[in-house]
Structure 1
Amino acid sequence: MQNNDQHPAPDADAVSAANSADVEALKARVAELEAEKIEQRESVLREKAELENQRRRLHRDLEQARRFANEKLLNELLPVFDGLEGGLAVETADVAAMRQGLGLTLKSLLKVGENHGLAQVDPLGQPLDPERHHAVSMVESPGAEAGTVVSVLQKGYVLNDRLLRPALVAVAKD
């Protein structure tokens, strides 16, 4: 006698149809994933190209900034150049007029420097500051306190609180 509790054997055609449907679904999924991969690859290539373009633009902009960084300063110096050339063109023996012209030109030049953060260090009468002054000699100076600057041989300069050149000074002896 046969036991009916067992499941009947699956139909070969049904199994084949199920396998065929699974294969088609897998093929569709593979095609979908390949399309997604191609899309992501193109996206990565576009991003890479954009980064390269950005790098080139930045390099070009930096180069332009370097080349023309002093444009404003030099534009402000042009009147000073003009003043010097005009002074040299005048043929006169009047030393006082020449000194006056040089004084005005120096004043103009110092103003341009100030506009760009440059300041003179003129320590006459001040105590020696080794951070900003370079003592080149010590001299007898009655009436001056020891260690005080009594003569400035060359003025110093500071750019935005950073010492460019110390002032060369003579200091009073003890």
Structure 2
Amino acid sequence: MSEQEQKQEQPIENVTENAAPNTEDLAETEAQTEQNAADPLEEAIARVQELEEQLADAAKKEQDALLRARAEVDNMRRRAEQDVEKAHKFALEKFAKDILNTIDNLERALATPANKEDESVKGLFDGVELTLKELLATVARFGIEPVGLVGDTFNPELHQAISMQPAEGFETNQITAVLQKGYLLNNRVIRPAMVMVAA
């Protein structure tokens, strides 16, 4: 072979040698292209799953916020109802405290040592007694009740002890004398009873 023919063959061999690696590169590139094509699909699936999780979290948070808002509205409504109920129940408290002084004065008038046999005084006593009974019946209709009777056990929530003395016929912590009656308005103390207690 001539030199020229050898040169011509040599490039063909080089081309063949060069072609073999290019075929491998091409196969590798195709594999990467397929992998890259699979990667966007996997990325899209992963992104969809991530978005679904975020959507579920947002829905859960929204549900929680809705439940909290409903509970807060229920609590506010309940508090408002209780406030209105208390306002209705205890609206008479100030008036009741003022009327108690009148009741006390009528009871003091009946307790005065006077000759009740005298006809001029007897009529007055009867009138005061009837007035007191009517007034007590009226305040009882509105939930005002007296507390503090002789012989009751002392209760610091209802009674105010003025003194403690040994007393015959009474046990310890029993009320021996009532100096001023106490009153409740719908089971709430509007005035504690002033009492003496057995020691």
Calculate the TM-score normalised by the size of structure 2: 0.44
If you compute each CA radius of gyration, which structure gives the higher value, 1 or 2?
A: 2
Q: Higher helix share goes to which structure?
A: 2
